[in-house]
Amino acid sequence: MERNIKVYEALQWASSFLTENGRDAQAGEILLGHFLDMDRTRLLSNLRMALPPDVEAKFRQATEAHAKGVPVQHITGYETFYGRKFFVNGDVLIPRPETEELVQGAIGRIRRHFGETKGLTLADIGTGSGIIATTIKLELPELLVYASDISEKALAVAEKNAEALHADIRFVHGDLLQPFIHGEKLDIVLSNPPYIPETDRGSLSVVVRDHDPETALFGGEDGLAFYRRFMETLPSVLNKRALVGFEIGSGQGERVSCLLRDTFPESVVEVVRDINGHERMVFCEKN
């Protein structure tokens, strides 16, 4: 009778198999922990536990799927962002750790720039899975938070996440800032728009290129198309005192900051690098 393999044997196999296929070896820990309903600490404290046959089968199948390019998050159904679980699928961009830095930077600047958060209105444009809007609302509950997206499927995912995390968000369907042009003025606009240049399409990992929605990735030939479009409507939707925060691609800081300075000459514009030293955020404080 064939014995059941143990946790450490399954992890060793997955690590080797994923490395051979150019994937992160640690993905095996995430997948096995998912199927066993264990966090990493508990998983590693049960290395000699025998795997039930059905778990082993699911784990092998999932590991092989990831090796072929299926994102781990599409197998488990979620990604962790700012310490919270967010449901994700093929209709939304998988949350990246860098966006946590945009949220953290925005929270600090909101408090410093406005002092009092009560009565302020924030809009997360191109919300995707809703990570920015939901996280900001939970961290700064006195804000009135809107989340918009041109994709109705993405909005459905964002609404599901907000409901699961008990975040009171107002969702609107529309293209960039169009839903807000004839409405109330906004104090804060945050966005992680598509910023990958079309010329970089061929160099993207298959995990990203074939599984994240294309409309959430590419920002025109130079990656700046959406920032230019923002400049056309930002002046008409912002209050006199306002804050704008964008996530950007590496090397785009100077060009995006120039767009903001040209649009708001009296503002303070700052390019911020992420934890890896790459240009990742641009903030504009409008006085």
CATH code, domain carrying 103:
3.40.50.150
Count of other CB atoms within 10 angstroms of residue 184 = 11
Q: Are residues 139 and 238 in the same domain?
A: yes
| 3-state SS, residue 86 | strand
Q: Are residues 179 and 219 in the same domain?
A: yes
- 126 labelled as ligand-binding? yes
- 213 labelled as ligand-binding? no
- 192 labelled as ligand-binding? yes
What is the domain extent for residue 26? 7-68
Q: Are residues 253 and 123 in the same domain?
A: yes
Q: Are residues 146 and 212 in the same domain?
A: yes
Residue 224 lies in a domain: yes
Please, which contacts does 161-169 make with residues 24 or more away whose CB atoms are closer than 8 Å?
161/86, 161/87, 161/129, 161/130, 161/131, 161/134, 162/130, 162/133, 162/134, 162/137, 164/87, 165/84, 165/134, 165/138, 167/133, 167/134, 167/137, 167/138, 168/137, 169/130, 169/133, 169/134, 169/137, 169/145
Q: Are residues 145 and 270 in the same domain?
A: yes
- 194 labelled as ligand-binding? yes
Which pLDDT tens digits describe the chain residue by residue (287 residues)?
356 889 999 999 999 999 999 999 999 999 999 999 999 999 999 999 999 999 999 999 999 999 998 999 999 999 999 999 999 998 998 998 999 999 999 999 999 999 889 999 999 999 999 999 999 999 999 999 999 999 999 999 999 999 999 999 999 999 999 999 988 899 999 999 987 777 767 667 666 666 666 666 667 678 888 999 999 999 999 999 999 999 998 889 999 999 999 999 999 999 999 999 999 999 999 98
> What pLDDT, on the 0 to 100 scale, is given for residue 116?
87
- 236 labelled as ligand-binding? no
What are the structure tokens assigned to 170, written together? 């107002």
- 90 labelled as ligand-binding? no
What are the structure tokens assigned to 258, written together? 């120039």
Q: Are residues 197 and 249 in the same domain?
A: yes
Residue 229 lies in a domain: yes
> What pLDDT, on the 0 to 100 scale, is given for residue 199?
72
- 45 labelled as ligand-binding? no
Burial label for 9, CB within 10 Å (0-12, 13-18, 19+), is: middle
What are the structure tokens assigned to 62, written together? 């999932």
Q: Are residues 220 and 187 in the same domain?
A: yes
- 220 labelled as ligand-binding? no
Q: Which residue matches tokens 């930077």? A: 105
> What pLDDT, on the 0 to 100 scale, is given for residue 210?
60
- Give the CA distances from residue 159 to residues 63, 99, 104, 120, 152, in Å, rounded to whole numbers and listed in that order: 30, 19, 22, 21, 10
Q: Are residues 28 and 166 in the same domain?
A: no
The C-alpha atoms of residue 219 and residue 182 are separated, in whole angstroms, by 26
Asked if 72 contacts 210 with a C-beta cutoff of 8 angstroms, the reply is no
Q: Are β-strands 144-149 and 121-125 bridged in parallel, bridged antiparallel, or unpaired?
A: parallel
Closest CA to 114 of 75, 140, 86: 140
The C-alpha atoms of residue 163 and residue 80 are separated, in whole angstroms, by 16
> What pLDDT, on the 0 to 100 scale, is given for residue 202?
67
Residue 282 lies in a domain: yes
Distance of CA 210 to the CA centre of its chain: 17
Q: Quick one: residue 119, left, alpha or beta (phi over 0 = left, psi -120 to 50 = alpha)? A: left
